[in-house]
Chains A and B, each alone.
Chain A
């Protein structure tokens, strides 16, 4: 007898059929989304990703989706499930699931989206520690940095980027929640002395956040993005630039 197998998915029984409705589309050939449905038997603690794997390995589904680690590290398996962006290796399978690609990114095929716009945005921010003082040798004297540690948990799955209403509105001056979290990792690092008044980082890129916290509900790492990243980065920018 297994001592502990209860969890949030305890209402589903082993072998019970789950209904998956999956958005299929190749944007180079298909004008519209084609919906396909599959039935997948529930297995112990099944994740959404496990159900998709069953569709391809056992039902001949040939659905295009991306994943690498299956363990909340690679950040490449986020999709929209029942209307909400989520990391599919992390969230439990549900009795009925409508699965779509992430929003706010170009579609490659089916459930695969192109991360390039985000990666380009991030690269432009030069997200690496910009040292003020020369390196002192290993190990360098450093304090505990709890604010940085919190943001380091971000795996850049872009679930929050997909949920953000400001990003969805098409406001290109706004960085979006994922990029702000990544920026915060370096701006809040005691070693970093980047030019916050420089051309690439304006207050507006962060300030357009509406604090609706839709991003936080999607975050598989449980980061309180608005207080832990947006507000802290905003405070730091104001302290340095005097704006």
Chain B
């Protein structure tokens, strides 16, 4: 019934971070095993990365890059030493290595890279703008399989096994067969990405159900800045499944123009070129949208529009994927506006790590990529993290002895996972319906505009779902063969946990910063809140919140307090 395996390093997650971790571990002479809930490179958030950014001569301005990362993408909750290291990695390793392996970054007819300036950086893409992640991951997938690495696809990790404070293995479920896996490992690298499917409208993939954060939390890992959750202001409103189709506020490829956004009266309220030079237009765009909503000129779920009608449609069609989506809806990208709505997006927060080594507070448990709380993440950052995590875990794996998981350790998790495989009570709750309710509570209470009362009411609803509906989950069938409802039940457990700790972290931070807006505290208060929110489980399993200082030397805030709506980051 239970398949026992061993590996030097178990890598959980099949995106850019996980693939890079496994490849680096192999390069260092280790025997890695990858566990992927869906398919390597095809089921996680890396797939949806739209473009690549890199420093472009003649600017090549490292100070401006540092400023962009610290201020605009991490709202000062960043580690400068880490960002400088990623900048080095981008220049010296990431781009040359991918191109050498065959990545074809789109060229113009004159042979120059199709490039759009974006602050101190340049936007480029293999394929069309919008397809970068798919093509980078296509290459990584072929590389991992080409090197013969062990990969278990459609296999969902369900627990990190910890003994005496050290991670010693992983329990997993083979979704095709229903077989449980007990894997002993000298090190575990968690690379499960963002927790995008936590609200009704979300940018992530179906598989991004907070499993990684929940597993790490249960294993005793500390969380950091979980409240730093981004929203998108510019995703297409309908059809529902296209909630991750974006009308980017960033520069397009093939033209110097950018999309404009209009309210329900037809007035333009956002155009990056009209904004004061922010290289992170997302948070700024949300603030402008909030002002429209306050005046009744837009809603969070619609009644505002993106438009490309001021731009020559030829380069949009040639270099930008969004034109295909317009065409499919019967819209003319050179003329028509498309209705937008906000969407739960990436999270700057996550698991607390030492960002240069990717170590957590749990010995033997390493983090790579966006599941970490050290940075917002993009393909470059998370690829770096995969390599860094592999390097440090290799040091551990070389000196550690493999420890077999005991029957008691495996049986405990097996009981939890198999416990969901029941068709009683007959009037019970189906897991897909519970997931939908969780996402609805987060949509209603944890949207872009937050308040103490709204969040407390949301927390109460989440706790009620946990208390009243979760114990009554039932599956339509107890088949163990690709039983989607079984996966949904495991997801629902993790989503309830992460929804709860996300709300608690958000209640703790009594200010507004970057993507995090509380209407009851509309000030960015560096004097009191330029600190990381740290959340962990105490001995009784209850969440405890403390805080930790930031590591900033060069980029510092301009004042002790700032009016949130006047900040541009």
Contact between B127 and A153 (Cβ–Cβ < 8 Å)?
A: yes
Given that A76-B43, A109-B482, A139-B105 are known contacts, is A68 also in contact with B207, CB under 8 Å in the complex? yes
Please provide the chain A residues from 120 to 175 with a CB less than 8 Å away from any CB of chain B in the complex. Answer: 123, 126-129, 131, 135, 137-145, 148-149, 152-153, 155
Contact across chains for A60 and B329 when beta carbons are under 8 A apart: no
B475 within 8 A of A: yes
- Contact check, B127 vs A152: say whether CB atoms are below 8 A apart: yes
Check A135 against B99 for contact (C-beta < 8 Å).
yes
Asked if B476 contacts A145 (CB within 8 A), the reply is no
Within the complex, the shortest CB–CB distance from B207 to chain A, in Å, comes to 6
| Known A137-B96, A145-B104; contact A108-B430, beta-carbon cutoff 8 A | no
Known contacts A47-B241, A153-B127; decide if A139 and B142 are in contact (CB<8 Å). Answer: no
Q: Give the shortest distance, in Å, between A126 (CB) and chain B (any CB).
A: 7
Cross-chain contact B47 with A73 (CB below 8 angstroms): yes
Q: Are A3 and B96 in contact (CB under 8 A)?
A: no
Convert B300-339 into 0s and 1s, putting 1 for each residue whose CB lies closer than 8 angstroms to a CB of A. 0001010000000000000000001100111100001111
Q: In the bound complex, how far is the Cα of B176 from the Cα of A44, in angstroms?
A: 34
Check: A11 CB closer than 8 A to any chain B CB: no
> With A69-B47, A152-B127 in contact, do A138 and B99 touch (Cβ < 8 Å)?
yes
For residue B357, CB closer than 8 A to chain A, the reply is: no
- Does A43 interact with chain B (Cβ within 8 Å)? yes
B205 touches which one: A68, A141, A149 (CB < 8 A)? A68
CA–CA, A57 to B433, complex, Å? 5
Q: How large is the interface on B (under 10, 10 to 19, 20 to 34, 35 or more residues)?
A: 35 or more
Interface centre among B48, B104, B128, B207 (most CB of A within 10 A): B104
The secondary structure that dominates the A interface is loop
The answer to whether B104 touches A126, judged by C-beta atoms less than 8 angstroms apart, is no
Most chain A CB neighbours (cut-off 10 Å) among B105, B240, B338 = B240
Question: How many A-B contacts are there with CB distance less than 8 Å?
Answer: 175
B102 touches A129 (CB 8 A): yes
Q: Which residues of the other chain, A, contact B131 by a CB distance below 8 angstroms? A: 73, 152-153
Q: How far is the CB of A201 from chain B (nearest CB, A)?
A: 17
B100 contacts partner chain A, Cβ-Cβ < 8 Å: yes
Q: Chain A interface (Cβ within 8 Å of chain B)?
A: 2-8, 10, 26, 28-29, 43-47, 49-50, 53, 56-58, 60, 62-65, 67-76, 89-90, 92, 108-109, 112, 123, 126-129, 131, 135, 137-145, 148-149, 152-153, 155, 186, 189, 191, 221-222
**Would you list 30 pairs from A and B whose C-beta atoms are within 8 A, ordered by A residue?**
A2-B303, A4-B336, A8-B330, A26-B481, A29-B479, A43-B239, A45-B238, A45-B239, A53-B240, A56-B432, A58-B433, A60-B433, A62-B484, A67-B206, A68-B207, A69-B244, A70-B206, A72-B325, A73-B48, A108-B482, A128-B102, A135-B100, A145-B104, A148-B104, A153-B128, A153-B131, A155-B134, A189-B102, A189-B104, A191-B102
Minimum-distance CB pairs A-B, first 8: A129-B102, A7-B330, A62-B476, A70-B241, A45-B239, A44-B238, A135-B100, A138-B96
Known: A71-B244, A74-B42, A139-B95. 13 other contacts (CB 8 A): A4-B336, A4-B338, A53-B240, A60-B430, A68-B42, A68-B43, A70-B243, A72-B324, A92-B239, A129-B102, A138-B96, A138-B99, A144-B108
Which residues of chain B have a CB within 8 Å of any CB of chain A?
38-39, 42-44, 47-48, 95-96, 99-102, 104-111, 113, 126-128, 131, 133-135, 139, 142-143, 145-146, 176, 205-207, 237-245, 303, 305, 324-325, 328-331, 336-339, 430, 432-433, 435-436, 475-477, 479, 481-485
